[in-house]
Structure 1
Amino acid sequence: MKHDLWNIVETTTEPTTPAWSKKNALALFFIRESYGPAGFDLIEKISMAKIAWDTFAEKSKSSADPDSGMENGRFNQHVSLEKHIREGEWDAANQLISSSPDAMTAQISIFGSTALHIAIFEGHMNIVEELVKIMSEENLKIKDTDNFTVLGYCATVGNIQMAKCIIGKSRTLLSIGNGIFDLIPVVLALTYNPNRTEMARYLYSETPLEDLMPRNGINGAMFITRAIYSKALDMALDLLESYPELAIALDCNGRSPVEVLAGMSFAHRSGNRLVYWKQWIYNSICIPSAHDTNQIPISVQKSEMEKCSQARNIGSARGSVWNLLKFLEIDQIYELKLLHHQSKKLLLRMCQVLQGLKSQQLEKGKVIEAMIKAVKEGRVEFVTEILKACPDLAWCAEISSGRDLFKFAVLHRQDDVFRLLCRSPAKNPKFAMSDGDRNTILHIAAMFEPSARRNTVPGAAFLMQREVQWYKEVESIVPPSTLECTNTNGKRPQELFTESHKELVKEGEKWMKGTASSCTVVAALIVTIMFAAAITVPGGNKQETGLPTFLNEKVFMVFIISDALSLLSASTSLLMFLGILTSRYAEEDFLKSLPKKMIVGLSTLILSIATMMITFCASLSIILPGKSRVVIPIICLASVPVTLFTWMQFHLLIDMVISTYGSRIINKKARYGS
């Protein structure tokens, strides 16, 4: 009935439509699954669901069949019991259980679920309580065909009250594995409810820590990796304090906690780029000592934000400033910094474990993979702490490609990480070494990795500029002989750079010309308007002398000066953009020539727009003296679109200036041989 198949077993004829055949096959499958393997021989050769249904109906009316081992009416009884449990009808279900007590522990669904399994899944708390009362502790350990206990079901659905009810009857279920990996309930809770950790926290407070020991299987490693995924870093740290060796233990996916932590962007400050005002709030936040995750008793933990909401301290902010900060999403920023605080403590604890380990242990614990991943993604905090604990890891390399950390930092354009690595004694030897394809570090700098921080630069042209900057910087620190080295494809670094950046050069040219064309239109329009305004001054000219009528007014002088500045700056901007449109677009031009023209063009365009607004305001003041009630609203309304344009272009201008004149990618002290 649930799948709209009842008409199949009531039909008296055999339709021949494809739709009927499909429904007949589905109904036949359900009938076979419901009756179980014991009755398969009975309907093996039956092709119509109606005949199979009638066969079983007759069988249920007869006495017990010694061949199948099925009791009279057992099939119908299980179907009815499952229906009542799913619909929350305890009285009807209880009558069936009372008449046949074995039905309480029978696997009554097609997936082998018992009545209690079904009640948990459907969320019927009253039925769960009643069934737990009358079931023995041994019966509570019954698993379904997927190897899940009733407490495993509670962990997956996240119902704490049901879990408390079951644990009150049988605590041994906390230690029984579930599923194909034999995961205990506390691990299941983190696996199936990664965004809600309340169930996991409760089960962790009840579960014997011995169940999470490394020698007891993968549950310990699974718990820590899933806790990291779920941002429950305090629980991960608590378990790691008891069993430090879990830092390099592997979970069911073959990943260790240290490797998982390396890849979590939310856990590191470098993985969360904040706008300037959020960055100011972040820097001002002080995490109270109460948030020391070593001092938080897990057994009584609630959400970190609930537990410590009264302990927040942001510098000396008080009163209206505090309200303003709350308005500026301070709760989220506070939670982010708290997460970073916990992540650092977890990382430091892992580093203590790594100290003194042999290379085979580090490799087996996926520490090298963790370092490579952290370098690729720019997790400079992670790399810093790991190298402090194990300085020799600066020499590690990926087995498959032969590339070391220096090459990965260059390939993925991670300047902070590369500057850090350049402090290592491994710097000079690594600069002179090549990978499995005989690519030197300069060859790597010549390659274009599309995923390498595209969102940090304003447009394809400045991405190309960044690529040229990287190549030039790496070129300045490698041995001179590297410039002529060829890889397995016979390419020198400069040849490889030209080949790999062909498309980016085209994209950069298209972006630069498109931007210049748009700004040229605006600049030309301003030039036209300002020139016309200079000729037809407000108030006109005196007929006797030809001089402006309001020549001696102070506001008129403001009008003339701002008009002249706007005209000159717009003309300069127009010339710069025309220069961009007619420039060549070689690789070297993206380094300084084209960006400088774009910066000058945008700067003067913004200046011309600002002075044009001043000219407009001065003109209104001259034409409508003493009419401030009219002049001020008009000025405000007219300023909105111009201000929006200026603001958007100003951000682009700032990004361009930083990209062109910002700090060096590589520190001068990183020169080869220094």
Structure 2
Amino acid sequence: MAESERESIKEQISMFDEKMISAQRAARSENWREFKKIFKVDRMRLLDPLDLFGNTAIHIATHSDNPNLLQELLELLPRQERWRVMRMGNCVNNTLLHEIVFCTTVDMAGVVFKLEKELQEEVESYDPLVEVRNDSGESPLFRAAKLGKLKMLKYMANHVVGDIRSHFVRFDRCSILHACILGQFFDVAIWLLKLDGNLAQHKDMDGLTCLQLLANMPLVFRSQTPSMGAVKNLVYYLLPDEGYEIDDDYDEKGEEEEGSVLFRLRTDLESGPLDKAKQSVHQFAAFSRINYAIWKILAKEFNGIGHIWEKKKQHKLAECLAELLVQKDFSWQISFHSNFQPLIVLPILSSKLDRIKEIQLMKEKRQLVEIAHSRISKPLLKESISKASHFKNYTPLLMAAGSGIVEIVEKIIDMNPEAISHVSQDEHNVLHMAVKHRQLKIFNLIKRNSAFKSLIHRITGEGRTLLHQVARMEFYKEQRLPGVAFQLQDELRWYEDMHKEAKCWIKETAQSCSTVAVLVATVVFAAAYTIPGGSENGTPVFFGSRVFLFFTVTDVVALVSSLASVVTFLSILTSPFELWDFYKSLPRKLNLGFALLFFSLVCTMLAFSATVLLTIQLENTKWTSVLFYCAGFLPVAIFAWMQFPLYKTLQKLVRRLCNRVKQV
């Protein structure tokens, strides 16, 4: 191919000419002097795209973080074109202010605001630059918050003319607070939440509040952070616990911003001389400042310390943010019971109109539940709700319990003690969530609460008890355990927690059943000596009757089986109750004892029926015979109808207990 043809093809397919390519090279090498020189020759090229994203040279100049360069380039253009380029968007309609949020110097935005103020007199009607949104519906203010640029965010917030809350939600309903939490910029989130507390109640397109979102981020909290080793843990412990909201920047007046320093003294020097208590506070604050400054120097010198400090800063800010969000959370007040009638207690709302709307909404939800309950059978309704419920539909309390975030669960329960009794729509409580997701720290936290005993008896909408939740393996997480043996050790800890309760239950059951068995043995033993009809010369009156033979057999079997059940239950009471006795030994003994006891009771009722038939003289009429036979066997039928389902249930429970141990 000839050289001329190659040049022709290059001209046809190239998006940028040699001048723009030279400007790109200058920008990549941060040679901003050469960059400015190129566009001084041809000023109108400042309006042309300079990269694949549609950014102009003015957009690219923001990467320099040099306010003078930006101002000089803007002043190269005529006033009308200057206004146009400041509002010009790239391929996603990010304007100049959208790109400036990356800058560390707020004076970059100051240049734009200054020129905008000079040009606004020449424009009849316009939207301020800080109000312009990109294709995602993000204003420069929203974008600054999303990227964690707190300093730039505060500066831009001071230049908002209208209601600043109009910047807090983009087109997909994601709030500015949601965006900060997703980016883990918790210092920005804290500042925004203090600016507008209503952000805590906002829900995104998935219906999640900010506290629910935070409850799904366990690794940003200390309680779920993997162990860093002995030395790092020691450094972590020695690092300051306060001062992580300190902002070393100052406002335009050169004064510290209110609330930016946690070490600020809480004493008023103008109120008079300090007493001893205030002096101690003053001295402690001074010591904290010195300690903070020393560690800050060490963090700059040693990367390892700096990394640990950043981790602790994240933990402390996340904990502080969680505390602020918990204060605004009332979701735990909506609690469901087994009859699917929610107990609703509304928080105090900002206005009477809001409260009326909220009450009306809750009434409509209650009516829908009642209609569904009347049209669908209860088991089917439970199944549908169970299938429709997902982890994200739980309240922050239950979500945090499932994630193992001790900080959130502890704060919710401390601020609202009754929150521990909250029950979800599928009838899970906080203990079910902790056990199901193997969160031992949450379990130990709840165990110290006086409400623990009332929580363990909850049965979910799927019919699962607490022991069933322990047996579920679909939620099991290895938690970075190095081998199967350590996983087994982790699981055995759960069994140690349940071991005491299992021992108490089986002891009480064995004692109660042995008492009944002894009573049955006493009755049938006495019946053997007081035979129906009496005897003549030592021979029973009804000796030749088949019914008498039936009575004798059932009485003897009842006596033998009842005594055998007593022995079985006594063997349970005298067993050592070791953990592994619950694997085969105790379940088998319990099954055998129940079987013998039930069989002895059945035989006792049959012996009683035979006695009735022998002692009552019947006429030779069929209907009277049938009537008395039915009356005699009615107690047996009632007993079978009422007791055998219970026996089957106990069998299932014992079988599940065995399967649970086998899974471990």
The TM-score, its normalising length taken from structure 1, stands at: 0.49
- Which structure would you say has the larger Rg? 2
Normalising by structure 2, we get a TM-score of: 0.50
